Structure 1
Amino acid sequence: MFSKQFSRTLHTTLCYCKNVKLKNFKGKGASSAQWLTRQLSDPYVDKAKMMNYRCRSAFKLVEMDDRFKFLSPGQIVIDCGAAPGSWTQVAVKRVNADNSKENAPFGTVISIDKQQIYPIMGATILGNSDFTTASTQDKIKTLLENKKVDTVLSDMAPNATGVKDMDDENIINLCYSVLRFAVLVSNIDATLVVKLWQSNYTKTLENDMLHFYKTVKTVKPQASRSDSAEIFLLAREFKGLKCS
């Protein structure tokens, strides 16, 4: 279903300590207590605070880039679903968008989210902006000034409904939105990273990405909680588009 829909759309476009016990938590729901317990026992939460990252999710991108090395000084990066901004913080440093590395190329990071994103030095922020809309994507293209993108990142996820089939469909639609945009603005050999949840749609998305990228790899960073269904698809070496 998604392959056909995607092809039609693209064709039209182109031509904090473990085992913490909580006390005095009356009045809070079980899910709230579970979340707080998990936060208190999560080493990445404390590590994020120590390193001044806005969220523990920064370490997912750190791990992936340390392993696969797709971010480097001078690159242009688009960060979709960026709030609160931890991936942007990582990207800014690694592509030198804050010009903190002497004698290194100066990079660019553009960050987008439906929520407000507080300023991050070195990043251009598009807060309160829905990436999936044409108006927001036009703003991004204007900011690019006809330059091509080296890396597109997406940590976007929809609000969970609790209905698995609906949630799986919603997040996969976000992934296709990012893919459609990425293939139109990316440099040859560019990289794309998208978050999704393991589902029956995963293989279809991977196959569609392989039409445009030489390799697609499923990645589950250690910083991604083991009880989470989230995974990342890392697409490397964008082939470019050819109109027939």
Structure 2
Amino acid sequence: MRLVFTGNCVFKRLLHTEIGGKYAKQQPRNLKGRSKSSQEWLTRQLADPYVEKARMMNYRCRSAFKLLEIDDKYEILRPGGTVLDCGAAPGSWTQVAVERTNANGKQKRASQGAVFSIDLLHFHAVPGATIFGGMDFTTSLAQKRLNEALQHRKVNCVLSDMAPNATGVRMLDQESITNLCYEVVRFALAMSAPQAHLVVKVWDNGDVPKLERDMLRFYEKVKRVKPRASRGDSAEHFLVARNFKGATET
């Protein structure tokens, strides 16, 4: 069985109506014929302030605010930096990375960075980023293509908001996302410059402490973070690893 990895969000274009300067929550419509899970998802989306905020700020997905909060606190993205976004579709983290690194050149007095985004899915271009759609970052071909695009320079930050397709079997799903995190870590070790940073998504489970310890062999600090934009009932967390020490094990 082949798992498909992708950025874990779906963008809905309009979920609220502006009334008197405030946003009134819409009630779900046309629910007839939808599954119970679809009805629950739509109801939750309509009540989610980050969905409307993403629409207002032209982000493709509410998950942009997770990365914004992480970067505001830990300063992992800086003007002039080079970023790799793994599992980037539909592109909201890429949008944030482009803004924060000045890859679009809009900050005239700041250094211009570069953002490279890769996903198994094809997705729309993000101005200021180089997109590799329909490509598996774990393959040697993808890494060769990325190295050529990077002109063999190292990167300052690797991002991953990826999750495997859920099977509904908790133990299997937790094992799958942990294995995926290790794939991203191995990828980051090969691509990162000294003092680079790494962000990966995990689902809270008993394997996470070991993953943290393994990451600490290569990074000076590793912090488990649950941004406010992560839904309260979600097991999702992010591991923020800072200051890459090098690929030599300690």
Same-fold call, TM > 0.5? yes
Describe how 1:23-34 pairs up with structure 2 within 5 A. Answer: 23-34=29-40
Determine whether 1:226 maps to 2:242: no
1:231 partner letter: H
Note the aligned Cα RMSD (angstroms).
1.6
Determine whether 1:157 maps to 2:163: yes
Aligned residues: 229
Determine whether 1:107 maps to 2:113: yes
Distance in structure 1 (CA, Å) of the matches to 2:74 and 2:35: 40
CA deviations over 1:39-74 (Å, ceiling 9, x no partner): 000000000000000000000000110111111100
The residue aligned with 2:48 is 42
The residue aligned with 2:132 is 126
Q: For structure 1, which segment, 20-29 or 96-105, has the greater mean C-alpha deviation from structure 2 after superposition?
A: 20-29
Gaps of at least 5 residues in structure 1 are 1-15
Counting aligned pairs with the same residue, the percent is: 56
Distance in structure 2 (CA, Å) of the matches to 1:135 and 1:117: 19
Poorly superposed stretches of 4+, deviation over 2 Å: 16-24, 241-244
Distance in structure 1 (CA, Å) of the matches to 2:242 and 2:64: 21
Determine whether 1:191 maps to 2:197: yes
Q: For structure 1, which segment, 16-25 or 71-80, has the greater mean C-alpha deviation from structure 2 after superposition?
A: 16-25
Distance in structure 2 (CA, Å) of the matches to 1:23 and 1:49: 20
The residue aligned with 1:80 is 86
The residue aligned with 1:168 is 174
Which structure has more strand as a fraction of its residues? 2
The answer to whether the Cα contact below 8 Å between 2:79 and 2:102 also exists between their aligned partners in 1 is yes
Distance in structure 2 (CA, Å) of the matches to 1:155 and 1:131: 13
SS at match of 1:110: strand
CA deviations over 1:143-179 (Å, ceiling 9, x no partner): 1112111000001111000011111111111111110
Distance in structure 2 (CA, Å) of the matches to 1:162 and 1:21: 28
Question: How far 1:99 sits from its partner (Å)?
Answer: 0.5
CA deviations over 1:62-105 (Å, ceiling 9, x no partner): 01101111111000000001000000000001001001100211
The answer to whether the Cα contact below 8 Å between 2:115 and 2:129 also exists between their aligned partners in 1 is yes
1:206 partner letter: E
TM-score, structure 2 normalization: 0.88
Gaps of at least 5 residues in structure 2 are 1-14, 17-23
TM-score, structure 1 normalization: 0.90
